[in-house]
Structure 1
Amino acid sequence: MDTHIPMRTEPEHDLRHHGDAEVRDDGSSLVDLAVNVRADTPPDWLREHIAGSLAALAAYPDGRDARAAVAARHGLPVERVLLTAGAAEAFVLLARALKVRRPLVVHPQFTEPEAALRDAGHTVDRVLLRAEDGFRLDPAAVPEDADLVVIGNPTNPTSVLHRADAITRLARPGRTLVVDEAFMDAVPGEREALAGRTDVPGLVVLRSLTKTWGLAGLRIGYVLAAPGTVAELERAQPLWPVSTPALAAAEACVAPRALAEAAHAAHRIAADRDRLVAGLRGFASAGLRVVEPAEGPFVLVRLPRAAAVRRRLRDLGYAVRRGDTFPGLDEEWLRLAARDRATTDGFLRALGQALTV
């Protein structure tokens, strides 16, 4: 696999652009396919549980029960768990707390890890996976002297689910291997997950509870890593970094009832995504190509004049995520969130109009 490795380049992409920017100004008038948060969330029972925690706001947050619940969910000791204000905080902690010489990010992927590393003063290398290879990971493309490697699985925005054994081949003594599994609970059976593994040297797994449960505004996620790494990251956190309502959500979202509901949702999301992919294949004659197989709750597509199509879709009432802010992609790429049947069918009709203008 001929994987291109630019050496220590300055970012030419807008690493701080995220899907919410597509709907922030006039989102109430747009159907949102730009943000990868499950649309029918949070469920009523979770809203009520979070609301019930408000009676305890006079006390400082106590994360011990939530931390123990997350540890139990993954079969780990609590010393291997760190609760964070969303997975994004974990990227900042990793960038600031760990002493690394040559960090590397595998792209295209979520841009916040690289942005956090650069903000902390690091020079960041990249491995760019290629569309011609299906954006598949070649472990041999990562330089041996990279002492921190970041990869998403399933990867945002490509929706590629890398094999666990391919990712673990990146592990080395003296290397921190960060695997962003923010969307893994949207994969039926969480196949290829590394959360809970303790046999991979230097492994750090990040999880988010904001995507499946619709809690982006609450900010809750967690880190799974060796106790020494967790301790380093915890020392870099401010006091009481996770609020009482977020702690209540964390404990609830890893309970057996919630895990069963998330597993059911993963199958529904997969069906919704497959319907979207099937519909998108119908536009092949217009030059549209879908990255397949898609395994996350979103799909990546390439089409001519994608920027103009995105603007036409906005005029027709639909917001989609531009792809050119991701290293390794350009303005011909768009990311589309999987939605329910009615939303998908309406979007496909709008896409047909946008492609014929």
Structure 2
Amino acid sequence: MRTETEGPDLRHHGDAEVRDDGSALVDLAVNVRTGTPPEWLRERIADSLSGLAAYPDGRAARAAVAARHGLPVERVLLTAGAAEAFVLLARALKVRRPVVVHPQFTEPEAALRDAGHTVDRVLLRAADGFRLDPAAVPGDADLVVLGNPTNPTSVLHPAAAIAELARPGRTLVVDEAFMDAVPGEREALAGRTDVPGLVVLRSLTKTWGLAGLRIGYVLGAPETIAGLERAQPLWPVSTPALAAAEACVSPRALAEAADTARRIAADRAHLVAGLRRFAAAGLVVHEPAEGPFVLVRLPGAAAVRERLRGAGFAVRRGDTFPGLDADWLRLAVRDEATSDRFLGALGGALA
């Protein structure tokens, strides 16, 4: 474990790779599923626009999310995406020693620092497969944050290993933003009420293509949810976002998400097999990958990334994630045809 106060740009996200000239680039930098939202979801959102004159009423959406996870509504809080949830946690929880397990999504640490907290980092090592070692987390940490599956490593930690981190007086925050992209949602903790201090975050923006709408939710003990709700502004989730939340936890949506997860797994296997062909150039794929993205290590990756931009492909730099350096790249999983075109461009960039 290493404690750091300075270092990577925690506010750099994948959209920065395509923001200026994204229309000219094939986007492998952002982990939002392409071709979304589906038509039926766009129609549900459009239908909600007739109710914009009224203030948002989140009761139906909250009840739908609670039913999806078999929980009482008192254990659910709807948020403007997972990013808002991180801000609420940072502001509402009274903690002395927060710890963030890296490499992972950087917004939780950024939110904690913005709220005035001094944050310790547990840095998982590539040599250990970026696997969680519960013993590496300081025993006196009263807030622990980690992702599962983890962005950007694509590691799926065993639920049992994560549960080992729970103890009285500690809040254990698990970011499951990409769990619905895992077939069967293996190792999910959402819906568990037997793990002390557990708080699970879910996002509906990745699988359903709703990054611009901002919708997610928090699952936790009623007293934790009540504290977070008090920290929220009035009407934090818009009427269209509430309509999307209710739609995205419907039986139809859950079945579609399950099919999508299986397709992502097949597309990821195709991409990984293609990447392995560049082993002679020093490219190493971090495996096993379980999320809708793949982490690779490549000497001179920064220069290769620029050559890929010239060839029309945007990929995510890795050096803004604590624990990684400029030789790492994150690649979003796309359909096989897109991956084949990317692999051809990668071969040219390496040559």
TM range (shorter): over 0.9
**Aligned with 1:154: secondary structure?**
coil
Corresponding residue number in structure 1 for 2:47 = 52
Taking the TM superposition and a 5 Å limit, the aligned residue runs for 1:193-272 are 193-272=188-267
Q: 1:323 & 1:340 partners in 2: Cα distance?
A: 22
Q: 114, 126, 129: which one pairs with 1:131?
A: 126
Corresponding residue number in structure 2 for 1:6 = 2
Residue 336 of structure 1 aligns with an amino acid whose one-letter code is L
**Aligned with 1:344: secondary structure?**
helix
Taking the TM superposition and a 5 Å limit, the aligned residue runs for 1:32-43 are 32-43=27-38
Corresponding residue number in structure 2 for 1:29 = 24
Percent of aligned pairs with the same residue?
Answer: 85
Q: 1:252 & 1:221 partners in 2: Cα distance?
A: 13
Q: 2:188 & 2:302 partners in 1: Cα distance?
A: 34
Residue 2 of structure 2 aligns with an amino acid whose one-letter code is P
- Give CA-to-partner distance per residue, 1:235-259, whole Å, 9 cap, x none: 0000000000000000000000000
- 1:314 shift after superposition: 0.1
TM-score (norm 1): 0.98
**Aligned with 1:178: secondary structure?**
strand
Q: 1:45 & 1:292 partners in 2: Cα distance?
A: 35
**Aligned with 1:99: secondary structure?**
coil
1:64 aligns with 2:59: yes
Q: 1:351 & 1:62 partners in 2: Cα distance?
A: 48
Corresponding residue number in structure 1 for 2:344 = 349
Taking the TM superposition and a 5 Å limit, the aligned residue runs for 1:160-199 are 160-199=155-194
- 1:208 shift after superposition: 0.1
**Aligned with 2:347: secondary structure?**
helix
Taking the TM superposition and a 5 Å limit, the aligned residue runs for 1:84-163 are 84-163=79-158
- Give CA-to-partner distance per residue, 1:107-159, whole Å, 9 cap, x none: 00000000000000000000000000000000000010000000000000000
Where structure 1 has 5 or more consecutive residues not aligned to the other structure, the ranges are none
Residue 22 of structure 2 aligns with an amino acid whose one-letter code is G
Taking the TM superposition and a 5 Å limit, the aligned residue runs for 1:313-328 are 313-328=308-323
**Aligned with 1:325: secondary structure?**
coil
Q: 1:294 & 1:182 partners in 2: Cα distance?
A: 16
- Give CA-to-partner distance per residue, 1:33-76, whole Å, 9 cap, x none: 00000001100000011000000000000000000000000000
**Aligned with 2:154: secondary structure?**
coil
Q: 58, 73, 76: which one pairs with 1:81?
A: 76
Residue 142 of structure 1 aligns with an amino acid whose one-letter code is V
- Give CA-to-partner distance per residue, 1:273-292, whole Å, 9 cap, x none: 11100000000000000110
- 1:11 shift after superposition: 2.6
TM-score (norm 2): 1.00
Q: 1:49 & 1:270 partners in 2: Cα distance?
A: 28
Residue 68 of structure 1 aligns with an amino acid whose one-letter code is A
**Aligned with 2:173: secondary structure?**
strand
**Aligned with 1:123: secondary structure?**
coil
State the superposition RMSD in angstroms: 0.4
